[in-house]
Amino acid sequence: MGSGARSRAILLVGLLATVLWSVAAASFAPVAHAQGNPLAFATDGRERPILRGGWTLYEPYQFVEGEGTLTGIDTLVSQNLAERLGYVADFQYVDWADHVVGIRDGSIDFASGATENPERAAFAYFSVPYRYEDVVLIMRAEQAGDLAGLSTADILERFRTRKLRLGAVDGSVYGSDELNAYVAENRGTELVILSESGVLNLRRLLADEIDGFLEDRLSAINITWRSGAFDQVAEIPLESHSDISMMFSKANFTPAIMDAVDSSLAEMKERGVIEHITTRFLFPLVFSQTIGSEWYWAVDLVGTVAFALSGTILGWRLGANLAGFLILSALPAVGGGMMRDVLLDRPVASLHSLQNITIIGVIAVTGYIASRIYRSGRHPPSIGKGFGLLFNFFDAAGLGSFTVTGIAVMIADPNQYSIAWAPFIGVLTAAGGGIIRDTLVQRRVRVLFDDLYIQISMFWGILLTAYVSFTPVRIEPYQYGTPMWATVAAIILTRMVWLERRGELYAI
């Protein structure tokens, strides 16, 4: 073959290879999902199409945590659904009103957390509901008293006649015809102030720029708790209940695709996927409110006082000096909590509490002065037996209280540690400081050897954790009050009965 023929052959082979490469590259290139059926691209090995969505600040449904990670109930449900359909969900921040506009013109594919109404149904498909929403009215506590118990219509009439300013999220649809009509009629007036989020509405309420605002109940509880305004505002129930669905643009999707969406959501419900996602966010929220409640403060106070008293009684028994009284009182009262906070990588709560150091100081100093006076006079010998009973009772009370508070702090932690570790954290909170105290005074640490102490805490802690795990979470900040107080009482009773049977009820 001549050089010319060889060159032509090489050129022909190169041209053929280029054509084949172009065809192969085109077949594997990403295809915009507006072309044909997007679901067809899910299983042929090519890159999955993007499902374009948006998000706005709507915790715990859509929000950013940690180092910029988008998460939330709606976000995770959407991501799970997209994966089942063969998509990759992509979220861009957008105000809710603009989000709805994007669905209408097709620039955005879908929205989660949507309520169906005739206007939206003209340009969007709606999936089967995957959760529900109850809307409440949030007002400053001092202004809400005379509205409690009124119907939605009566409340709105009070707002109208008194010229009260109502905050609402722009573009929102509520599960009440009265609310929707009132917002629509007064939009752009001084009676209805629109904003982009409930967080902004709360800020305006606290700044006296509005007199109340409408918000999903779970979101309202969340934003008021996180802002530290839980005690400054009041929640007024409204007759507003709506089913929440996924909303898809009719410009980009077909009824056939919506059938696949509904089937996937039904499967996610049946397998408990949606419930698991929801519970993941409700546990920290409800328990975080629990930690901020008055009854939790009472439980924590009981534990701090009880352990401080037990340490003071031990200091009396050992004849400690003032520094000894302070140390022996502080270690069981705050030592376990400090160890817990360090382990969970959270701020050490005791170092921020004036209450704890005040309790410890007053009890320790009072105990020290009383011990000096006691040792200078004559007293019945039976006083030692009484001290033993008091020591063991206070020690049992501290054990019960701090077991419960340790479990509550663990479950409420935003890092979402496994709930299976909650009983261990309860034991550490309750017994950690006492173990250090006993080691410090070279006292046999019976709780690690021949005494039912940690075991009692662990047993009742496991039962409480199991109860929490298998009881449906309600959107109630105080739903765990009764079981937690019952756990405290059960630990105290079990401990005292054990000591009585061992003949050690009066021993220190």
* Residue type, position 507, single letter: A
Residue 471 has what DSSP assignment? S
Q: What is the dihedral of CA 110, 112, 117, 120, to 10 degrees?
A: -20
- pLDDT class for 381, splitting at 50, 70, 90? very low
Query: What pLDDT is stored for residue 107 in this prediction?
Result: 94
Query: Would the pLDDT of 104 be above 80?
Result: yes
Mean pLDDT score, 113-138 = 94
137-150 pLDDT per residue, tens:
999 988 888 888 89
**Mean pLDDT, range 249-273, rounded to an integer:** 94
Query: Between 4 and 157, where is the model more confident?
Result: 157
* pLDDT 10s digits, 31-90: 333 334 444 444 444 456 889 999 998 988 999 887 788 999 999 999 999 999 999 999
218 or 79, which is more confident: 79
pLDDT at 481: 74
Q: What is the pLDDT of residue 213?
A: 96
Residue 278 confidence (pLDDT): 86
Q: DSSP character for 35?
A: S
pTM summary value: 0.65
pLDDT at 33: 37
- Average per-residue pLDDT in the chain? 83
- Bridge-based pairing of strands 50-55 and 88-93 is parallel
**Would you say how long the chain is, in residues?**
508
Domain spans, the chain: 132-242, 289-502
390-427 tens-digit pLDDT: 878 888 888 888 898 888 888 777 676 788 899 999 99
Give the residue among 156, 148, 162, 140 at the shortest CA–CA distance from 212: 140
Amino acid (one-letter) located at 187: R
Q: Would you state the pLDDT for residue 378?
A: 55
Q: Averaging pLDDT over each range in 73-82, 294-303, 365-374, 447-456, which range is the top one?
A: 73-82
Superfamily of domain 132-242: Periplasmic binding protein-like II (3.40.190.10)
The helix/strand/coil state of 193 is: strand
Question: Which of residues 4 and 331 earns the better pLDDT score?
Answer: 331
At 288 the pLDDT is: 64
Angle CA(90)–CA(125)–CA(213) in degrees, nearest 5? 75
* pLDDT of 25 strictly over 60: no
